Structure 1
């Protein structure tokens, strides 16, 4: 069996471009790093590095080995963290993967319920917009969003549960001329400066892009971000308008307001995928129940009309 530590050394040398650079990052001597590489070469029967002037260059075999070892080393690190949790008495854990607005708006209630029902449980929450490959552990509950008219998404090894359907709303400064309208038609945004909160073109971003295309224009983005809080800050500074899901409108800056959109109406579905796990089945059921409760409580069933204070 290959020594994981030697694979880590191999990857470090490739990343640093030299034995000395890797030695410095790993807090080892260059001689020790070279010895690890020699042993790994003997174990694998591969030529890992070749002379390149005064330096060395990784062979294609070394590059392929380093790439293929990435998943195994990641799984091993997760196993080591599990051992550490067990040693520290944190045997029970539940892991979530969700997008940022759910983490902000819904997860406080879910964590509170879990703390009440299982005080020793450790709750881990990863933002899947930032870590699409997964967090520290495989999620027990994965929360995603999708277009209302899209085919239902699936996740192998998980059960699907629809949590909510919500509209997307126009967000703009209270002194913007479009605030004179109770509802804004998408075509009215043709000449507006847009601020995007979904630079990676996730499901919500694609919903917005398709609505603009249906209305006959391409958004004039003056800034593109991967955080809705930052998008709201730029909108509050009067730099443009943005379109956000209802769940992301918590804590709206005082000088901003929202309007429903039409032509077409924009909406999305929020879905939870629960992992089939015999040991954590009770925790997962408790968490899903809490998610459903807070989703129902916080998702409006009808569009909110702008108040006179917004005018």
Structure 2
């Protein structure tokens, strides 16, 4: 009978296209991975891979079972984590993944709330910028481009708030007296970048600029909201960022609402619905929602 180990070898070869690369990734010998694939094909009676040049690629049959293989491996991972938690007595422990601006605004208050409500619980905060992919923490505060994104079935999501973008300009800038400004009006000014190349916030801005027909051009790059805002205060240009990333407002900087179109990021709390501390997580989510809307 095939095992989880056989399924891991199957997925790793499917992703890497190579038995040798899969073996290195899994910490196994190439012969062990080849044996797993052989047993899996024997047990299922299916041809799962075919040669493509020097490597391997999935057959149509192999591609058809991949979603179910993913589901089994994810369930196995959650079970393993639950067992590890029980062994390590982590039932009085909560880890929370977060992005930087949520950490500044919400996380200290959230930990204080949990300390008061659950004094025996230890909280660990894990800075986790970028797109969500898995559950290294018990609860994650994440950014999405849509209010109702399609998370995988094994993910339970809670919408927290929407965070519209603003433009930060020097307080003596010609636009500083405006209550709102369109993206098109900003195109001729000097822009300061404030995010990483693959950051979700940057992608949301780029998509809005594309819809508005605005060419994105950065005079300077900072890759940090705080640094970019201080550069704005020195008159080096303007920067566009989510409203949550502005506070505390840097002296010498004015914030203006964006329109036509208005870039918005949506913030969610996500968790594993099978987590053994679901009651604690739900309490934390309730507190987060109140913090996000206050």
TM range (shorter): 0.5 to 0.7
Gaps of 5+ in 2: none
RMSD between aligned residues? 4.8
Q: Give the match for residue 46 of structure 2.
A: 46
Q: TM-score, normalised by structure 1?
A: 0.64
Within 5 Å, which residues of 2 pair with 1:269-284? 280-281=278-279, 284=282
Q: Distance in 2 between matches of 1:166 and 1:37?
A: 47
* 248 and 218 in structure 1: CA distance in 2 versus 1, 3 angstrom threshold: same
Does 2:69 correspond to 1:65? Answer: no
Q: Does 1:230 align with 2:227?
A: no
1:260 aligned residue: 256
Kept after mapping to 2: 8 A contact 1:184/1:259: no
Task: State the match for 2:215 in structure 1.
Answer: 220
- Between 21-30 and 271-280, report the one with greater CA deviation: 271-280
- TM-score normalised to structure 2 length: 0.67
TM-aligned CA distance change 1:138 to 1:223, over 3 Å: farther
Give the secondary structure class of the aligned counterpart of 2:72.
helix
1:38-187 aligned at under 5 Å gives the runs 38-50=38-50, 55=54, 57-60=56-59, 61-92=61-92, 100-118=100-118, 119-122=120-123, 130-131=131-132, 133-136=133-136, 139=139, 168-173=165-170, 177-178=173-174, 181=177, 183=179, 185-186=181-182
In structure 2, what is the equivalent of residue 243 of structure 1? 240
Partner SS, residue 178 of structure 1? coil
Residue 84 of structure 1 aligns to a residue whose secondary structure is helix
Q: 1:290-301 maps to which residues of 2 (within 5 A)?
A: 291-293=289-291, 295-296=293-294
- Tell me which moved more, 44-53 or 228-237: 228-237
Unaligned runs of 5+ in 1: 297-311
Q: Secondary structure at the match of 1:220?
A: coil
Residues 204/108 of structure 1: CA separation in 2 closer, same or farther (3 Å cut):
farther
Alignment size in residue pairs: 280
